[in-house]
Structure 1
């Protein structure tokens, strides 16, 4: 692999960790309004959906590189959807409503607004988001392993995945520290949880990127399967979790729809900058 791709991955990881840490600190410093949160969620859901179908799935098919590549990739895409759906059902994470006092003005109530918060409510949320963020990290490591060229142009293959993760992690971190704060956790406990969460995605990315070489000749198929699985996970998060939260709100529909379409357009635009050879094996 090109040294520049590895260097860029490290830079991506540092940025993701910093954004995640900043998101976890926001409840102590900034009031995140309901509408602002919904706009960010709309943008991220569009970006994740675009990344899944404009980047991850095509890259997975290209990496498989044989007559059965499409079937292979789609099988792992469906597996990714199933696994992420089960995680969502089991842990009920991605609770992104940070302004419960405004809930009375909206049709749809979510997650921690519905139930009383106790001291350990955050554990299930943190566990679910922890597994999810590791999957995000593996997706980033896999797409960087799959880039075909050298230099900055080749490394752009990972930029769409990076942007989807970068914009999403602050909301996840904020979810954890907000629930902890509501449950009476100390500032030091919140800071520790925030730090641990921030390093999970970089650890997953770096471990996959540098560890896949040990798989030998099967490495390309492992990368292809991981890319396709990640496409399914991103699709499930976008369509099964983020968008339904936005959809059930009657307010600001025009703004939220435009933010969603902007996310898809951003994902598509990033794809235009990628090397053409990446989509053809």
Structure 2
């Protein structure tokens, strides 16, 4: 088994576990919203830094100045998806953007499938895989938490909730595996376009889904801002070490 395939397996299994952890939080850790919001703020910093410090520069090495369009397409793909499905990973019980139940499951699953494509592409680029994996993990947990919270609010049975959560947890690995093996032997140009597209999706997730959390609730803004910059700082350190 190649190093890339090994990383693919390890990252995929880890993400499934993280998805389950996120889905179980609403069942066993009610009332811990402050910690969750800090985690989301940290994740926003990680996703932004992953896109700007790692993915976009790597894409530029392969496709040069042509990276603008695929970044924009990646951003718009998730924007349009969320506007039609109207769901995003938000832990608030009073979020106006959510549709409940199966609609949320479909929207977040498609979202996760695209995120998995970013992971698969990242693994194909030396030193980028772990950065993308970290960003995906920090986004996957609140997404799972959101989905589980919606199902609980609709009084789904635990068996039904676990079935949906299992299917949802497999979306990122599905996207990652299919992308990895499809692009494994492709040209660096195609890979560059895919990485740039993935960077655009990361920018949308950070800007539209996660960054608004940094600004909510004035009494927690300072702590959330610190958490956000901590996420940026961690990925900046990773950038320096690479």
Q: Is the TM-score greater than 0.5?
A: yes
Shift of 1:158: 1.2
Q: 1:237 aligned to 2:205?
A: yes
1:19 is aligned to 18
Instruction: State yes or no: 1:78 paired with 2:72.
Output: yes
Which has the higher mean CA deviation after the structures are superposed, 50-59 or 204-213?
A: 204-213
- Residues 52-94 of structure 1 deviation map (CA, whole Å, 9 limit, x = unaligned): 1111111111122xxxx22x21111111111111122222222
Where 1:135 maps in the other structure, the secondary structure is helix
Matched, 1:267 2:240: no
Aligned Cα root-mean-square deviation (Å): 1.9
CA distance in 2, matches of 1:272, 1:6: 26
Does residue 1:143 correspond to 2:114, yes or no? Answer: no
Q: Is the 8 A contact 1:59 1:143 kept in 2?
A: no
Matched, 1:211 2:211: no
Deviations 1:25-64 (A, max 9, x none): 2222111522222111110001000001111111111122
1:110 alignment partner in structure 2: 95
SS of the aligned residue for 1:111 comes to coil
Query: TM-score, normalising length from structure 1?
Result: 0.81
Residue of structure 2 aligned with 1:171, choices 133, 139, 142 = 142
Partners in 2 of 1:60 and 1:198 — Cα distance? 28
Larger radius of gyration: 1
1:246 aligns with 2:214: yes
Specify whether residues 273 and 10 from structure 1 end up closer, same or farther in structure 2 by C-alpha distance, changes over 3 A only.
Answer: farther
Residues 45 and 30 from structure 1, CA distance in 2 versus in 1: closer, same or farther, beyond 3 angstroms? same
1:1-27 CA-to-partner distances (Å, cap 9, x unmatched) read x81222122111111111111111222
Q: 1:77 touches 1:228 (CA, 8 Å); kept in 2?
A: yes
TM-score relative to the length of structure 2: 0.93
Instruction: Supply the distance in 1 between the matched residues of 2:213 and 2:88 (Cα, whole angstroms).
Output: 10
The answer to whether the Cα contact below 8 Å between 1:77 and 1:230 also exists between their aligned partners in 2 is yes
Paired position in structure 1 for 2:224: 256
Structure 1 residues 247 and 170, CA gap change in structure 2 (3 angstroms): same
User: Could you say what secondary structure the match of 1:93 adopts?
Assistant: coil
Answer yes or no: is the 8 Å Cα contact 1:46–1:261 preserved in 2: yes
- Which residue of 2 is the match for residue 159 of structure 1? 130
Runs of 4+ aligned structure 1 residues displaced above 3 Å come to none
Following TM superposition, by how much is the alpha carbon of 1:229 offset from its aligned partner in structure 2, in angstroms? Answer: 0.8
- Assess, with a 3 A threshold, how the Cα gap between structure 1 residues 92 and 138 changes in structure 2: closer, same or farther: same
- Checking the alignment, whether the CA contact within 8 Å between 2:49 and 2:232 is kept in structure 1 is yes
The unaligned stretches of length 5 or more in structure 1 are: 101-108, 148-155, 275-281
Q: For residue 58 of structure 1, what is the aligned residue in structure 2?
A: 57
